[in-house]
Amino acid sequence: MAEMKISVNAVWDGGVTGKGRLKAEYLDTNIAIPASLGGSGNGANPKEILVASVTTCYTATLTFVLESRKLPVAELTVNSEANISDNEFKITHYANIVLSADATEEQIQSAQRATEAADKGCDVGNLLKKADVIIEVQGKVTSK
């Protein structure tokens, strides 16, 4: 992995029921403790930010893999869902790839394989897997 420096600033006001602001170079969002834990719930909580981070990594990696394979991508969406309990932290990425109408069966199969390759190539996801987070991918590939 290439060396990288990231700076993030958090400012908090108001105790447990208060709220904060999280800022980085291209990130600026409200943060809060979830209402279920006695907080205000008026902002993203740490687990949402964690899932957003791995979704961003997976999506960017998938975009790179698809482009490197020169596939005719018309649309790409990724929805991720986390299920968190005392015993398990599981994230599922639902990748939906739409290729152009003239895509071949070989290109469709390559795009399907790309959904798994992106999971293996996502640095953030790989770090979470080392912490026993389960990450699954359900990829769907169609053509217009």
**Tens digit of each residue's pLDDT, the chain (144 residues):** 679 899 999 999 999 999 999 999 999 999 999 999 999 999 999 999 999 999 999 999 999 999 999 999 999 999 999 999 999 999 999 999 999 999 999 999 999 999 999 999 999 999 999 999 999 999 999 998
Ordered structural domains, the chain, with CATH: 1-44 (2.20.25), 46-143 (3.30.300.20)
Q: What is the rounded CA–CA span in Å between residue 44 and residue 40?
A: 11
- What would the pLDDT profile of 99-140 be if each residue is shown by its tens digit? 999 999 999 999 999 999 999 999 999 999 999 999 999 999
* Residue 47 and residue 81 in contact, taking contact as beta carbons nearer than 8 Å: no
Rounded distance between C-alpha atoms, residue 111 and residue 115, angstroms: 7
CB of 129 closer than 8 Å to CB of 61 = no
Q: β-strands 134-143, 89-99: how paired?
A: parallel
Type of residue found at 61: T
Give the number of other CB atoms < 10 A from CB of residue 45.
16
Q: What angle do CA 80, 127, 3 make, to 5 degrees?
A: 115
Please choose, from the candidates 117, 111, 120, 114, the residue with its C-alpha nearest in 3D space to the C-alpha of residue 141: 111
